């Protein structure tokens, strides 16, 4: 485990189809969350202009989890460049050539110093060992996350998406350089929903997360601003 002292930031996932709702959440969480995350639900429903409108001046985490042949993913990255995302996700299981194509497209299509951090999604936090075995991976989430994380870093990815359960082993394997983003975060007592590999905000911080991603525990709370503030207070405690 690295001895580096890290600060863990909060990314709020704005999963809705409604731009007005997303804008309201941005207002609610802006005081505590550094980055706005918009993903498949919002983008498919509302479109890219709405993504740009909602993000406004806030740094944008575009969680589109690209996964296709290298030529298509490279072209998709170039097509997204006008949105100037700060972070962009793709599935590491798409393989080395796909990730290298994404990285090359980033280097080509974004002005120098303005390309997004490319994050390789390892094993979705909604999968446990049993669910993963049904996809043919028989040696568990931890082993698969380690394999895909190494491949992602070797293929030019800046960071990784994994559950907080794998943070310690990834820091041991890869050191402090990769940016590690952990969804599947649940404050004590919160409903897990479809998430399987979960940890609390403080546990993820202690394990070395750079960023935690929290959606429903904030957006579905009676008072999203208070829920976000409470999670931030837990991270800073
Ligand atoms: O492995 C992953 C990768 C991405 N996500 C995304 O994070 C949020 C989590 O939302 P919650 O409501 O806090 O469960 C969501 O947008 C996912 O698409 C993930 O959960 N796991």
User: Pocket residues for ligand 1 (CB within 6 Å)?
Assistant: 13, 15, 39, 63, 121, 124-125, 161, 183-184, 193, 195, 213-216
> Do 207 and 7 touch, CB atoms closer than 8 A?
no
The residue whose CA is least distant from atom 5 of ligand 1 is 183
pLDDT of residue 182: 98
Q: How far is the CA of 102 from the centre of ligand 1 (A)?
A: 22
Low-confidence ranges of the chain (pLDDT < 50): 1-3
Alpha-carbon gap, residue 33 to 9, rounded angstroms: 7
Give the closest residue (by CA) to ligand 1 atom 11: 215
Measured between alpha carbons, how far is 211 from 223 in angstroms, rounded to an integer?
22
pLDDT, residue 170, reads 97
Ligand 1 atom nearest 40 alpha carbon: 18
CA dist., res. 180 & res. 233, Å (int):
20
Q: Cα angle at 179 between 69 and 31, to 5 degrees?
A: 110
**Residue of 135, 187, 215, 216 to test ligand 1 pocket, by largest number of atoms within 8 Å of CB:** 215
How far does residue 190's CA lie from ligand 1's centre (Å)? Answer: 15
**pLDDT given for residue 3 in this prediction:** 44
């Amino acid at each position: 485990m690295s001895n580096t002292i890290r600060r863990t930031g909060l990314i709020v996932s704005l999963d809705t189809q409604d731009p007005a709702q997303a804008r309201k959440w941005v207002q609610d969480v802006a005081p505590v969350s550094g980055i706005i995350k918009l993903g498949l639900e919002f983008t498919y429903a509302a479109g890219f202009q709405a993504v740009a409108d909602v993000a406004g001046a806030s740094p944008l985490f575009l969680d589109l989890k690209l996964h296709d042949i290298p030529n298509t993913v490279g072209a998709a990255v170039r097509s997204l460049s006008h949105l100037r995302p700060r972070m962009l996700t793709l599935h590491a299981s798409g393989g080395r050539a796909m990730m290298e194509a994404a990285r090359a497209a980033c280097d080509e299509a974004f002005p120098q110093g303005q390309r997004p951090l490319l994050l390789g999604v390892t094993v979705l936090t909604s999968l446990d060992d049993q669910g993963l075995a049904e996809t043919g991976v028989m040696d568990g989430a931890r082993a698969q996350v380690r394999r895909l994380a190494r491949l992602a870093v070797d293929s030019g990815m800046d960071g990784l998406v994994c559950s907080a359960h794998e943070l310690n082993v990834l820091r041991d394997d890869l050191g402090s350089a990769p940016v590690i983003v952990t969804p599947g975060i649940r404050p004590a007592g919160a409903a897990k929903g479809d998430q399987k590999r979960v940890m609390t905000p403080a546990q993820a911080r202690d394990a070395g997360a750079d960023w935690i991603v929290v959606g429903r525990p904030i957006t579905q709370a009676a008072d999203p601003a208070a829920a976000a503030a409470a999670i931030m207070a837990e991270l800073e405690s």
